Amino acid sequence: MSKTKVLKSNTTDLTTGVIWKKLLLYFLPIAAGTLFQQLYNAVDAIVVGRFVGTEALAAVGGTPATLTQLIIGFFVALSGGAAVVIAQYCGAKEEARVSAAVSTSMIFCFIIGVLLAVAMFFAAPALLGIFNTPEDTMAGATLYTRVFFSGSAFLLLFNMGSGILRSVGDSKRPFIYLMISCLLNIILDLLFVIVFKMGVAGVAWATVIAQGISCILIIIKLITVKDYYRLPIRKMKFNFQILGKMMAIGIPSGVQSAMYGISNLILQAAVNTLGTVVVASWAMSGKLDGVYWALASAFGVAVTTFVAQNYGAGKLGRIRECAKIGMLIYGAGTIVMSGLLLLLARPLLHIFTTDTAVMDSTWIVLIYIVPAYVIWSVIEMFSGVLRGMGDATRPTVIVALGVCVLRIVWTYTMFRFVHTLPILCLSYPLSWFVTAILLLIYYKFRRKKLYQL
């Protein structure tokens, strides 16, 4: 089989064709998959909030959710470096290196997943205590965290496998596997919580089992596929040189994710001081705006992969056009999504809970944060472009300073003087605005060199 035929058999070549069409067609399955992922996260909250109670909702969606976002987010972002490297090799038609990168990345994720599961079993109570988890939710939060992280290897391997498929242009199969996982999670949530009365443990085990199934499906696909990115299960080798290149991109991205997660944990600790109702409402707002964050993340992945393939192929003009066209699409989509979220927020809140105090508090969070999503779209867009071209370190520093440090400073200064939820919420739009300005300045400064103009 010729090289050209192999590259076209089950993948999408993003280095040719109309940019906006290729970008959107590649983005849509990723978006659908992430939306399904958000759906089963939302179902966890709905089932717990409706059938267990507000304290259980706070236990699942409070500090454990933020802690999970920090730790899992770091390693998923770290493995994202592998997806960029594989996409660059794919664009350059270097099949042997793609195969070596696939083996290396999957071995890495398995080892990290097992170590993480063991570490979090012992560290969960201490970590939850550090961030002021309310006493009435501590037992449930500890149980949920331990069970959730027992499936770390499943989660990391699935995300890495999805990243591999997407890096070679296949964004459809990860969506299909996520859809199966989502439907299974919903069924198990209802079964474990309503029928078996397992409470918080029920939604945790439902998530782990569903993630395990999606992990198995994607590994089977990588093992059986006949293309150059097949996972050679009997001949897997660990390539330290390729790992180093992955880490050069992945570590800055992981640090950025970790910094973002740390700032969120500090905010969560501040939220915890405002009582269980506010903790539940903070968790609720995260479920409602999860739709936007799913789409934002999906577009960031699409842009990064598009840029990486074209960078590997040396087509810098397409990268420049992608930055312009992508920003228009992303910005317009963000404005529409923000409007819909605010319009539908009140009716949707009734699905999650009947507690009016929680609903009122959640609305406060949304009204302060949602209108500023358009600012975040600038950060996600240009960070994706720069990562795809292998420039990850400096954007990470910019995001760390603008989003994370500023938000932490705000929490320990303004929030201490004015101890209210609205003041805490203001840290989001302010930090995004500063970060977007800094990132645009850097992008303009680096643009001529990056595009060799």
Span 397-402, mean pLDDT? Answer: 84
What is the phi-psi region of residue 16: left when phi exceeds 0, alpha when psi lies from -120 to 50, beta otherwise? Answer: beta
Angle of helix 135-149 versus helix 54-61 axis, rounded to 10:
50
Condensed to tens digits (0 to 9), the pLDDT of residues 66-81 reads: 777 777 777 777 777 7
Report which residue type is found at 34: T
Compute CA distances 378 → 250, 302, 330, 366, 404, whole Å.
21, 15, 8, 20, 17
In the predicted model, is pLDDT for residue 335 greater than 90?
yes
Question: What pLDDT score was predicted for residue 38?
Answer: 66
Q: Are 68 and 155 in contact (CB under 8 A)?
A: no
Checking if the pLDDT of 386 tops 80, the result is yes
| 435 CA to centre of own chain | 19
- Give the DSSP letter string of 258-278: HHHHHHHHHHHHHHHTT-HHH
Per-position DSSP letters for 312-368, written without gaps between them: HTT-HHHHHHHHHHHHHHHHHHHHHHHHHHHHHHHHHHHHH---HHHHHHHHHHHHH
Q: How confident is the model at residue 5 (pLDDT cuts 50, 70, 90)?
A: very low
Higher pLDDT, 289 or 23: 23
Question: pLDDT digits over 167-205, tens only?
Answer: 887 878 888 998 898 889 889 988 998 889 898 889 899
* Residue that has been written with the tokens 């203001």 in this structure: 426
DSSP secondary structure letters along 209-239 = HHHHHHHHHHHHHHHH--STT---TTS----
pLDDT at residue 21 tops 50: yes
Q: What is the pLDDT of residues 133-161, one digit of tens each?
A: 777 788 888 999 999 999 999 999 998 99
State which amino acid sits at residue 367: I
Task: Please tell me whether the overall predicted TM-score, pTM, comes out greater than 0.85 for this model.
Answer: no
> Which comes out higher in pLDDT, residue 215 or 70?
215
Share the mean pLDDT of the chain. Answer: 83
Query: Do 292 and 29 contact (CB within 8 A), yes or no?
Result: no
The total of other beta-carbon atoms located within 10 Å of residue 148's CB is 25
> What is the maximum alpha-carbon separation in the chain?
69
What is each CA distance from 409 to 187, 261, 401, 427, in whole angstroms? 43, 15, 11, 9
- What per-residue string of b and e applies to 154-185 under the rule 16 or more CB within 10 Å gives b? bbbbbbbbbbbbbbbbbbbbbbbbbbebbebb
Q: Please name which of 11, 1, 49, 31 lies closest in space to residue 329, comparing C-alpha atoms.
A: 31
- As given in the structure block, the two tokens for residue 141 are 């939060």
